A = this chain, B = another copy of it.
Amino acid sequence: MGVTIADNQSVALKEKIKKYFWKTKPFMDVGCCPTKDVLAATTDKWSMFVLFNLGYSNTLRFNQLKEKINGISARMLTVTLKKLESNGLIERKVFAEVPPRVEYSLTEFGAQFSERLVDFGDWFLDQYQTPPT
């Protein structure tokens, strides 16, 4: 009765957001938003490339990552890796060798996160190639 598909979609969205607001409330009340924090930590200029390269290659060393990620500097790679590690998305394994060997890989959480991120990216790219009017 005068309820369009768009209306139903918007009702579903509204419900989801409402639920989400409740879920985040305890965090928001103390002044933080974990989702935003981690999304921000994974959507800067480099993080996605690190995650996807590790997801694709399983394990990579510092300089291997640096070679695969076109244009990243050592410092930015360090900063990015530290951020990802502190958010529990990647693992850092140091070998007591000289010259040093450090191997990076996705955690289970990081792999799940990356899978969702790539799904999101894939969906987005389809929209982007036929951009909305």
Q: Which residues of A does B touch, CB under 8 Å? A: 6, 9-10, 12-14, 16-21, 23-24, 33-36, 38-40, 42-45, 48, 52, 55-56, 58, 88, 107-109, 111-116, 118-125, 127-128, 131-132
* Complex contact A39–B35 (CB within 8 A): no
* Complex contact B125–A13 (CB within 8 A): no
Please indicate the chain B residues that have their CB under 8 angstroms from the CB of A122 in the complex.
16, 19-20, 23
Please give the count of copies of this chain that the complex contains: 2
* Complex contact A13–B123 (CB within 8 A): no
Please indicate the chain B residues that have their CB under 8 angstroms from the CB of A40 in the complex.
43-45
* Complex contact A56–B120 (CB within 8 A): no
Given contacts A21-B56, A88-B132, A114-B17, contact A39 B120 (CB under 8 A): yes
Q: Which residue of B lies closest to A12 (CB)?
A: B115
- Inter-chain CA distance A118–B23, complex, in Å, is 11
26 contacts between A and B (CB under 8 A): A10-B55, A12-B115, A13-B55, A13-B114, A13-B115, A13-B118, A14-B55, A17-B55, A17-B114, A17-B118, A20-B52, A20-B118, A20-B121, A20-B122, A20-B125, A34-B125, A35-B48, A39-B39, A39-B120, A40-B43, A42-B43, A88-B131, A109-B127, A109-B132, A112-B127, A116-B120
